[in-house]
């Protein structure tokens, strides 16, 4: 413990006004034994944000405590935050009041980079999560929240053991994630890797996600999202939705998932909407060149998504799903139902294409099967097993 406090006293956060004028702000004067980096980072951010040129903040290697931090703009110039340290969140979730441990908001041209780790210390908080039992469950803190940031890059860092979602994206434009590592146990509840809502132009490239819920989840209002080279598992797969639960949801359109690998995941590729839902649309979604390795339910359209059985399953979903394709999906399934297409009786799925599907089940529950309801998919190329037609 003494070494930790020594490290705290030696930590420096540097602000560089521009690549030419490398003035340095040493903020160690804000640190005292027993205190964390929260105030130091907030103070350095304020000065960097006020600089008209490029500003760079660096947290060098070491292990440091960090409380709840909100880094807000707008800023006068681009800001780079380089984290090479391990930053450790409070164990008690009640110490984080705002719903996010580290929040970056209302910033243009922001970069978060480095080899560092954001350790959410979620093990204690997970025991307080009862979302599997009750609809009105406790909302726990998110490791990293990016709200209303534009033309920005998140590169290289690691998110570990978040108390809830690892990364939450809201209202962003032209935001790229690349070479991240997101890690939590497979049984950690509601620890979605990257959740995106109401954002346009989000790219996720070459990200490794091991977690206890969806590796990537796309909520309402997602437009032009490109997911490429993601490795997922354990986790609940890559999901669009769930949609239709709340009033005022915005359309989902322009989703591309390509060259991804899912291994030992509970689900594969999912589009899910609530029964008895409010009206909405989800269109122009394409899944291509996906490898499944021991994945449950590899391909699902589920318009009767009803966790905890707290909805009206007898009322159809009012979300219109159309212009969807699944191409070159191959590998092994841990469940016999390798393709399940359960569309709405009120608005059957339209223009759904399947091409070159090769999914194998080696278990003892019978042959691999496919099921279709309220859908007539267009089929081309090889299909193993044979893809069902509409049986409703």
| pLDDT per 10-residue tile (average), the chain, 392 residues | 33 35 42 71 90 88 90 95 92 93 98 96 89 68 98 98 98 98 96 98 98 98 98 98 94 98 98 93 98 98 85 87 98 97 96 97 93 94 85 46
The alpha-helical segments, DSSP class H, found in 143-229 are none
> Residue 15's pLDDT is what?
34
Structure tokens at 318: 């009012």
Structure tokens at 369: 């099967």
> Residue 391's pLDDT is what?
46
Which of the following is catalytic: 93, 166, 195, 236?
Answer: 236
Contact indicator for 291, 331 with CB cutoff of 8 Å: yes
> Residue 18's pLDDT is what?
34
| 330 CB-side CA count, 13 A | 9
Question: Which pairs from 30-33 meet CB under 8 Å and 24+ separation?
Answer: 33/5, 33/8, 33/9
Domain 69-126+140-384 is of which CATH architecture?
3 Solenoid (2.160)
Q: Which residues contact 33 (CB under 8 A, 6 or more apart)?
A: 5, 8, 9
Which of the following is catalytic: 213, 214, 220, 302?
Answer: 213
Question: Which pairs from 178-181 meet CB under 8 Å and 24+ separation?
Answer: 178/153, 178/154, 178/203, 178/204, 178/205, 178/206, 178/207, 179/155, 179/205, 179/206, 179/207, 180/154, 180/155, 180/156, 180/207, 180/208, 181/157, 181/207, 181/208
For the question of residue 195 being annotated catalytic, the response is no
> Residue 31's pLDDT is what?
56
Structure tokens at 155: 């590169």
Kindly report the pTM of this predicted structure: 0.92
> Residue 241's pLDDT is what?
94
Looking up tokens 């081309």, which residue turns up? 380
**CA–CA distance from 38 to each of 3, 96, 135, 143 (Å)?**
19, 12, 34, 14
Short-list 53, 51, 54, 121, CA closest to 81: 54
Contact indicator for 186, 234 with CB cutoff of 8 Å: yes
> Residue 7's pLDDT is what?
34
> Residue 332's pLDDT is what?
98
For the question of residue 236 being annotated catalytic, the response is yes
**Bridge partners of 182?**
159, 209
């Amino acid at each position: 413990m003494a070494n930790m406090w020594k490290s705290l006293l030696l930590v420096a956060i540097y602000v560089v006004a521009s690549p030419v004028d490398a003035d340095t702000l040493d903020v160690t004067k804000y640190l005292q034994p027993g205190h964390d980096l929260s105030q130091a980072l907030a103070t350095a951010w304020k000065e960097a944000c006020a600089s008209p040129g490029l500003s760079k903040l660096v947290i060098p290697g070491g292990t440091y405590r960090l409380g709840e931090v909100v880094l807000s703009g707008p800023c006068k110039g681009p800001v780079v935050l380089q984290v090479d340290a391990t930053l450790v969140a409070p164990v008690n979730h009640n110490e984080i009041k705002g719903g996010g441990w580290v929040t970056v908001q209302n910033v243009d041209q922001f970069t978060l980079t480095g080899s560092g780790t954001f350790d959410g210390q979620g093990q204690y908080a997970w025991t307080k999560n009862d979302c599997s039992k009750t609809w009105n469950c406790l909302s726990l803190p998110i490791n990293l929240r990016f709200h209303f940031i534009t033309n920005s890059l998140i590169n290289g860092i690691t998110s570990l053991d978040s108390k809830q979602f690892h990364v939450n994206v809201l209202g962003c434009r032209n935001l790229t994630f690349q070479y991240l590592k997101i890690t939590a146990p497979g049984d950690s509840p509601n620890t979605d890797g990257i959740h995106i809502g109401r954002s346009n132009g989000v790219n996720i490239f070459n990200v490794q996600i091991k977690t206890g819920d969806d590796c990537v989840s796309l909520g309402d209002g997602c437009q032009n999202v490109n997911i490429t080279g993601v490795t997922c598992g354990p986790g609940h797969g890559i999901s669009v939705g769930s949609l239709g639960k709340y009033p005022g949801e915005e359309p989902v359109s322009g989703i591309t998932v390509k060259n991804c690998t899912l291994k030992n995941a509970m689900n594969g590729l999912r589009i899910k909407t609530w029964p008895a839902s409010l009206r909405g649309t989800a269109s122009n979604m394409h899944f291509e060149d996906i490898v499944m390795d021991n994945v449950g339910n590899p391909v699902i359209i589920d318009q009767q998504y009803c966790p905890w059985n707290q909805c009206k399953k007898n009322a159809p979903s009012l979300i219109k799903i159309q212009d969807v394709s699944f191409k070159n999906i191959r590998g092994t399934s841990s469940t016999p139902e390798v393709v399940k297409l359960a569309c709405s009786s009120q608005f059957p799925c339209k223009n759904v294409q399947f091409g070159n599907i090769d999914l194998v089940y080696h278990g003892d529950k019978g042959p691999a099967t496919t099921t279709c309801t309220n859908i007539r998919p267009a089929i081309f190329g090889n299909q193993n097993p044979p893809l069902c037609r509409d049986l409703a």
